[in-house]
Structure 1
């Protein structure tokens, strides 16, 4: 389980190198629709991927071991009440210790703090571990785009999941 020393916080610009390395080291066809990153690497933060959009998990020594990107689902005023998770990564060395669950719970708390009433995400159909984690935290399948992606020689569903943030 997650240790008491593990801390979840908002990212800061100084996290860029650590987050970029974590992003590259956790790349997998289980969750990625883009090819594996190759040098030269693009910056982790840019105008669409701002530090304030990321929650960071760090261990007791301050090493970044996970992140979650939380953003408005769209720029439309009519769904300003919805936040979307657009990325979750956990270092291999701490998998199975509750870091992803802690990040999800922190994201739901942060979304509520921002005034959101719903939170959504997309997950590849073949990513059974992630789907099970999301379901265990109250996310339900709200739609499936069958065969939406052609990855590694196979068609893969895009699964839309969401949950309410209100009691």
Structure 2
């Protein structure tokens, strides 16, 4: 299946919530939490700002997306989700690569993320895309760690921060 990755438009936003909730079902099945927070609504995601790219299937349906937050001079990969029916086809990897390109084109030299260390489609996947484990060193990333702790995510497994150097900005 070929997909086109493009910037999200307003009409895509309602689909992102469904895509993330369906993709999260795989994580919920693995981790077995008592409860899991649903994906942000389209209004909440829009309020977060940043860069949102979608993977559009041959029938123009949104089958995945990536959301990169922009903060005080940095870029953070907040979410990558692909509908489970389209998993294993390289769509997630294409979205991550597109996110790296978009962050680089926006002038960022690094992209970070936080994820579960031992979930195969989390840290091991991101490592295969060039991300390496690193320590949180700024207020934004320490706030993410505090939020994860408050939500109790650490009870489901080790959480790690990862980052990748993007090289020189193309906006120079």
TM-score range, shorter chain: 0.7 to 0.9
What is the CA distance between 1:130 and its match in structure 2? 1.8
Note the C-alpha offset of 1:36: 4.3
Partner of 2:52: 54
In the alignment, what sits opposite 2:141? none
Give yes or no for contact 1:150–1:156 (8 Å, CA) kept in 2.
no
Give the secondary-structure state (helix, strand or coil) at the position aligned to 1:120: strand
Give the distance between the partners of 1:115 and 1:155, measured in 2 at CA: 35
Q: CA offset at residue 21 of structure 1?
A: 1.4
State the Cα distance separating 1:158 from its structure 2 match: 1.8
The 1:20/1:117 distance shift into structure 2, 3 A limit, reads: same
For the Cα contact (< 8 Å) 2:117–2:124, is it kept in 1?
A: no
- Determine whether 1:89 maps to 2:81: yes
| Residue equivalent to 1:161 | 162
Tell me which protein shows more helix as a share of its residues.
Answer: 2
Structure-2 residue corresponding to 1:134:
126
Superposition TM-score, scaled by structure 2 size: 0.75
Query: C-alpha separation between the residues in 2 aligned to 1:66 and 1:159?
Result: 23
Cα contact 2:54–2:65 (8 A) shared by 1: yes
Aligned residues: 151
Runs of 4+ in 1 over 6 A off after TM superposition: none
Residues 1:6 and 2:6 aligned together: no
- Please report how far the alpha carbon of residue 126 of structure 1 lies from its aligned counterpart in structure 2 after TM superposition: 3.3
User: Greater strand percent: which structure?
Assistant: 1
Q: SS where residue 93 of structure 2 aligns?
A: helix
Unpaired runs of at least 5, structure 2:
137-144
Taking the aligned partners of 1:99 and 1:42, their CA distance within structure 2 comes to 21
| C-alpha distance in 2 between matches for 1:112 and 1:97 | 25
3-state DSSP class of the match of 2:161?
Answer: strand
Deviations 1:100-153 (A, max 9, x none): 0000100011011101100100002332322121111110011387x946359x
**Aligned partners of 1:35 and 1:42: how far apart in 2?**
12
Rounded to whole Å, the distance in 2 between the matches of 1:116 and 1:141 is: 19
Q: Which runs of 5+ in 1 are unaligned?
A: none
